[in-house]
């Protein structure tokens, strides 16, 4: 009986030790937005500990990191940036907080659509993650960065990445299949988050927000006229941004209003939800 108790104690201490070492050896990762957190977790699995800067419902345009986040960044191994506006102010400060921090810029190499910033005429649209095709490239970039830090688990990262890419290819095929037969190809959005999605699936997003600013009265009149000409019957809003103008326009054109969120954590489920709402809105149901 004493032997069994001692064996159980030794086993417990072994498990605790292994768990402790495993937690200690995880790659400490920070990302800017929730979809990135999902991507890194998909590729890194149990070998990463992923922290997100901009939480649910928060606006990446106006966001400011908390003192707790800045302190935690001092112990981070990798920061995956994505080109969202708050990074322009804070990324240099984040780098200064940790000289050993590896900054991986996810947006610069993948962005190829003109942006909508009112303070930078040369900006590119950072919303690459609304395109499953772009996310596949992003996953490969994440895989490469994790292997650089933890080469002994390179085969695991590759396996996880390949599995996720397979799911993303199926998602892309599903979205294309659902959207390809729609006659209406134009949709109104409160914030221009869907440029890459629109290009992938031959749609046209018409943004209420213009050059990073709220729409002015004359522009709103022109947009309403355009919407009536194109028989647009759906307006899509995003909870991180003011929807007052969107609701006004929807009322004028007798359109339904749908909320879609490009910043949701569960990427595949969210993109399926977005697709379903766009199909419904563009079908005038």
- Do 20 and 115 lie in one domain? The reply is yes
pLDDT score, position 273? 98
pLDDT score, position 116? 61
pLDDT score, position 24? 67
> Which of 114, 145, 172 is where one domain is finished?
172
Determine how β-strand 234-237 pairs with β-strand 256-259: parallel
Nearest to 113 by CA among 98, 100, 125, 129: 125
- Do 168 and 188 lie in one domain? The reply is no
Place of tokens 């959005």: 189
Nearest to 140 by CA among 173, 104, 95: 104
Looking at the DSSP bridge assignments, the partners of residue 51 are: 30
- Do 78 and 164 lie in one domain? The reply is yes
* DSSP output for 211-272: TTBPPPHHHHHHHHHHHHHTT--EEEE-TTS--HHHHHHHHHHT-EEEE--TT-S-HHHHHH
Question: What share of the chain in percent tops pLDDT 90?
Answer: 76
CA distance 23 to 130: 32
Question: What angle (nearest 5°) sits at the alpha carbon of residue 281, between those of residues 118 and 204?
Answer: 40
- The tally of domains found in the chain comes to 2
Question: What angle (nearest 5°) sits at the alpha carbon of residue 92, between those of residues 267 and 25?
Answer: 60
| Cα separations in angstroms, 42 against 19, 164, 177 | 21, 7, 25
Instruction: Indicate whether 68 pLDDT > 50.
Output: yes
- Do 29 and 161 lie in one domain? The reply is yes
pLDDT, tens only, 165-213 = 999 999 999 999 999 999 999 999 999 999 999 999 999 999 998 877 8
Looking at the DSSP bridge assignments, the partners of residue 235 are: 188, 257
pTM of the predicted model, to two decimals?
0.88
Structure tokens at 212: 């990073």
Containing structural domain, residue 241? 180-282
pLDDT score, position 114? 82
- Do 12 and 51 lie in one domain? The reply is yes
- Do 157 and 214 lie in one domain? The reply is no
- Do 191 and 166 lie in one domain? The reply is no
- Do 105 and 203 lie in one domain? The reply is no
- Do 164 and 34 lie in one domain? The reply is yes
pLDDT, tens only, 245-254 = 999 999 999 9
pLDDT score, position 285? 52
Q: Residue 38: which CATH number?
A: 3.40.50.1980
- Do 193 and 112 lie in one domain? The reply is no
> Which of 172, 189, 223 is where one domain is finished?
172
Q: What are phi and psi of 133, to 5 degrees?
A: -65, -40
**Average model confidence (pLDDT) across the chain:** 89
- Do 165 and 36 lie in one domain? The reply is yes
Question: Highest-confidence range of 11-15, 86-90, 271-275, by mean pLDDT?
Answer: 271-275
Give kind and range of the element (H or E) at residue 31.
strand 27-31
- Do 163 and 32 lie in one domain? The reply is yes
């Amino acid at each position: 009986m004493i032997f069994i108790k001692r064996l159980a104690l030794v086993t417990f201490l072994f498990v605790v030790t292994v768990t402790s070492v495993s937690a200690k050896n995880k790659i400490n990762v920070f990302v800017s937005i929730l979809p990135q957190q999902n991507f890194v977790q998909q590729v890194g699995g149990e070998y990463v500990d992923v922290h997100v800067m901009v939480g649910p419902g928060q606006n990446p345009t106006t966001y400011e990191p908390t003192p707790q986040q800045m302190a935690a960044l001092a112990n981070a191994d990798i920061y995956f940036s994505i080109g969202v506006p708050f990074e322009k102010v804070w990324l240099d400060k984040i780098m200064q907080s940790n000289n050993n921090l590896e900054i991986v810029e996810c947006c610069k190499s993948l962005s190829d659509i003109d942006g909508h910033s009112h303070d930078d005429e040369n900006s590119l649209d950072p919303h690459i993650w609304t395109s499953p095709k772009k996310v596949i490239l992003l996953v490969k970039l994440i895989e490469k960065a994790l292997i650089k830090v933890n080469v002994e688990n390179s085969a695991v990262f590759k396996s996880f990445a390949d599995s996720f890419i397979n799911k993303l290819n199926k998602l892309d095929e599903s979205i294309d299949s659902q959207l390809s037969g729609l006659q209406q190809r134009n949709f109104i959005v409160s914030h221009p988050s869907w440029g890459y999605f629109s290009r992938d699936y031959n749609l046209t997003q018409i943004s209420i927000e213009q050059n990073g600013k709220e729409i002015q009265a004359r522009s709103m009149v022109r947009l309403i006229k355009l919407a009536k000409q194109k028989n647009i019957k759906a307006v899509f809003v995003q909870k991180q941004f003011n929807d007052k103008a969107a609701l006004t326009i929807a009322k004028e054109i007798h359109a339904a209003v749908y909320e879609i969120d490009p910043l949701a954590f569960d990427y595949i489920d969210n993109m399926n939800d977005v697709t379903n709402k766009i199909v419904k809105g563009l079908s005038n149901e």
